[in-house]
Homo-oligomer: A and B are copies of this chain.
Amino acid sequence: MSPVASNLQIDSARLWDTIHETAKFGATPKGGVRRLTLGPEDKQVRDWFRKSCEAAGLEVHVDTLGSMFALRKGRDMSKPPIGLGSHLDTQPTGGKFDGVLGTLAALEVVRTLNDAGIETEMPICIVNWTNEEGSRFAPAMMASAAYVGDFTTDDILSRRDAEGVTVGEALDSIGYRGEKPVGTQKFSNFVELHIEQGPILEAEGKTIGVVDSGQGVLWYDGKITGFESHAGSTPMPLRRDALATLSEIVLAMESIAKKRGPNAVGTIGEAVIAKPSRNVIPGEIAFTMDCRSSDAAIMAALDKDLRAAISEIAARRKVEVALDLVWHKPPTHFDAKLVDAVEHAAKALGYSHRRITSGAGHDACNLNTIMPTAMVFVPCKDGVSHNELEDATQADCTAGANVLMHTVLALAGVAS
């Protein structure tokens, strides 16, 4: 850490005010935020963000998928900037912090550097990535995925929401289809601050999560075909009950994930009985399954164990179970040097901290496939996110922003 910056702290009250200022764009009666990507509330927060960045002396440009880049010049403009930021869109009934904290803490870092008159060696660039949430348009983390080349821009522009509106039309409707081709703005590294969206830091009383990995994801679509029959007249031994089959699968998955833990989770989040009726034994159920681990070998073991358990259950119950793998995302291993930089900043600032795996996906996981990337986590209340009850303390948000700032300063260097 540069001596000139070692005591530098962001303005906690200003960060907190800014977070609550943007929470009015799409505020819900229950204290949450509904700011679907590329909708009118997203336009409001984007206009506010552009104005605020320009007021802080940043040069704002927008790419053809609407991602916003706000550049602060460095002494040495021959190098690509250090990227920092997150996203400003929310879930349909989201909270004030998911994405917002990382984007506005980046703005606060710049404001703090401005106030202190600090010039960095390398430029820095705040990003607001379009459609991280994926609630209106699929996939989630859409713009960063296109940025790293997982999708073409044209493919993404043609994706439609539930009303049939394309991404391209939505961008035009709010005036955020930018000029710059996706990928034009290069970065040296990228650092994203985010709330944990899980309960670990809070449970362990730690302020900073030094994120060293992101979980890989296995998404399955499943279908159980048993036999629909009368609840009263079908004896227990003659049943081929799809719900009892699902129940065994849920508990087998839970037990397998626990056995492969702590670095493994498994969830059945959707289960729909085909023709539900109080007095009919369920004959058909469609379900989804989500399994994650930051260890590729554990992911392979989860898949193998699950398939074996499901085969045994299906054969014993004389039902058919189809299980299709619909998405396989390998684990993310963040850049060791950047992870060390985050850890060093947390330590130097005196914050309690621990290494942690990100359970959720983030734009940073995409970016890590083409550039050194790291993330900083702060606790959120009860681990709740994607919910109007999402909450985080001012002290933790401040700590996260300080770690972000000192990580960026360590990477960008302070011009002497």
A interface residues with partner B (beta carbon < 8 Å): 196-200, 203, 215, 217, 219, 228-238, 241, 243-244, 246-248, 250-251, 254, 257-258, 261-262, 264-273, 276-282, 288, 290, 292, 358-361, 383-387
Q: Which residues of B contact A276 (CB under 8 A)?
A: 269-272
- In the assembly, how many copies of this chain are there? 2
- Min CB distance A214 to B, Å, is 9
Contact B199 A235 (CB under 8 A): yes
- Min CB distance A340 to B, Å, is 23
Closest 5 CB pairs of A and B: A233-B359, A198-B233, A232-B359, A247-B247, A231-B267
Contact A281 B269 (CB under 8 A): yes
Q: Which residues of B contact A251 (CB under 8 A)?
A: 244, 247-248, 251
Q: Which residues of B contact A258 (CB under 8 A)?
A: 236-237
Q: Chain A contact residues: over half helix, strand or loop, or mixed?
A: mixed
Contact B277 A269 (CB under 8 A): yes
Q: Which residue from chain B places its CB closest to the CB of A219 in the assembled complex?
A: B278
Other A-B contacts than A248-B251, A269-B277, 16 sampled, CB-CB below 8 A, are A197-B232, A197-B233, A198-B234, A200-B233, A231-B265, A233-B360, A234-B265, A235-B261, A236-B257, A236-B262, A241-B267, A243-B250, A244-B251, A247-B247, A268-B282, A270-B277
Cβ-defined partner of A246 (8 Å) among B231, B247, B281, B386:
B247
- Min CB distance A193 to B, Å, is 16
How far apart sit A264 and B234, CA to CA, in the bound complex (Å)? 10
How far apart sit A195 and B369, CA to CA, in the bound complex (Å)? 65
How far apart sit A278 and B281, CA to CA, in the bound complex (Å)? 25
Among A199, A248, A267, A290, residue most surrounded by chain B Cβ atoms (within 10 Å): A267
- Min CB distance A93 to B, Å, is 9
14 contacts between A and B (CB under 8 A): A198-B232, A228-B387, A229-B383, A231-B359, A232-B290, A233-B383, A234-B383, A236-B266, A247-B248, A268-B282, A269-B278, A270-B277, A271-B271, A279-B290
- Min CB distance A149 to B, Å, is 24
Cβ-defined partner of A281 (8 Å) among B203, B234, B267, B271:
B267
- Min CB distance A279 to B, Å, is 5
Beyond A230-B360, A292-B232, whether A270 also contacts B265 by CB under 8 A is no
How far apart sit A32 and B61, CA to CA, in the bound complex (Å)? 65
How far apart sit A203 and B236, CA to CA, in the bound complex (Å)? 14
- Min CB distance A206 to B, Å, is 14
Q: Which residues of B contact A360 (CB under 8 A)?
A: 230, 232-233
